[in-house]
Amino acid sequence: MKAKEQKGQLREKNELELRELGQSLRRQLFDTRMKNYTNQLDNTAQLRNLRRDIARVNTLLAQRKASASSARQVK
C-alpha cells in the first residue's frame, strides 16, 4: 500500500482504533524481529516498513492530542 493511501485510511480512524492498530503493529514488529534473528525472515524491508507504519500512527495520535489541547486553550 502506498504511503499516501495509507495516510488517508489512517486519518479516518478514531483514536481507539489507532491505539489498537499501534499495538498490533508493535506486536508484528516484535515477531518480525524474532524471525530476523533466527534467519527465518525473507524480506528484511518489512522491518523498516513496520517501523514507519508505527511512526505514522504515533504521529497521528500526537497531532490529535495537540489539536485537542489547543482547542481547550482557545475556549
Q: Model confidence over 10-69: pLDDT tens digits?
A: 899 999 999 999 999 999 999 999 999 999 999 999 999 999 999 999 999 999 999 988
Break the chain into its structural domains and give their ranges: 3-74
Tell me which DSSP letter residue 75 carries. Answer: -
The position carrying cell 491505539 is 19
The pTM for the full model equals 0.85
Nearest-angstrom CA–CA distance, 33 and 31 = 5
Does 2 score more than 70 pLDDT?
no
Cell of 44: 528484511
CATH class in words for 3-74: mainly alpha
